Amino acid sequence: MQLMCIGSVIAGVVLSVLGLGWYKEIIGDKIIINDFNSLTPQEYSIQDITSITHYTHKLNSKGEVEAEPHYKISFSDGRVWDTSDNFHEASQEKYTAVVQHFTSKSNLKVRYQDVDTAN
């Protein structure tokens, strides 16, 4: 039992340290994304964004629909920034401001959908 607790604490510390490197940063017209599975940060321009979709609901792990407003921002290389998957939480207002910045600097229009069915 004690060994399992120590293992859980060590795993938590490792994930916390790894999580310190997760970030999304917007500097002017540049978007820098460093996710958990990235070895190095990836830099995008606003012109690299192919679509922005706003969802009001999401399917949870049980397959139930729950209210969770979020955006999915797709890039030309196939990467998708799902604002509901961020380790460091930001408010919906901040994400809306980011999306408004992107759309004001491009010809992109936000698509609106009710339920994000992807898990």
Answer for the pair 69, 4: CB distance below 8 angstroms, yes or no.
no
Structure confidence at residue 88 (pLDDT): 55
Percent of the chain's residues with pLDDT above 70? 77
Residue 12 confidence (pLDDT): 42
Strand order in the sheet with 42-45: 23-27, 30-34, 42-45
pTM: 0.76
Tell me: pLDDT of 65 over 80.
yes
Residue 48, pLDDT above cutoff 60: yes
Q: What is the pLDDT of residues 5-41, one digit of tens each?
A: 444 444 444 433 344 457 788 888 899 988 777 778 8
